[in-house]
Amino acid sequence: QVQLVQSGAEVKKPGASVKVSCKASGYTFTSYYIHWVRQAPGQGHEWVGWIHPNSGRTNYGKKFQGRVTMTRDMSISTAYMELSGLTSDDTAVYYCARENDASGYYGYWGQGTLVSVSS
């Protein structure tokens, strides 16, 4: 069965960077886009961007351009999201999600990774 398993919670200082991983299993990793979405405490969801694991092509939300980098390691079926210049506003649960087909909807989600930014 399809699974997306994310790395554990992180605590970071303002100005630092964080790298969250999303390990895929149960399907051909290179065939489906992986998106990253975040949800700050008590707030709504926010789309961060996507990566296509086969080509490495990325598309980032305007708010995150210049601060986010999405990569992948095909040898271990893992996608990564790195966010730099962290502020308290980046405190959120970060989810990876896999598209199901070319229409773009999410069929599967990771369990989420809490990133806390505090001095």
Per CB under 8 A, residues contacting other proteins are 4, 35, 37, 44-47, 59, 61-62, 95, 97, 100, 103-112
Least distance (Å) between residue 96 CB and other proteins: 10
Least distance (Å) between residue 87 CB and other proteins: 20
Q: Tokens 């070319």 — which residue?
A: 102
Least distance (Å) between residue 118 CB and other proteins: 21
Q: Of 9 and 74, which has the nearer Cβ to other proteins? A: 9
Q: Of 19 and 63, which has the nearer Cβ to other proteins? A: 63
Q: Of 48 and 117, which has the nearer Cβ to other proteins? A: 48
- CA distance linking residue 62 with residue 27, whole number of Å: 30
Torsion of CA 28, 31, 35, 36, to 10 degrees: 30
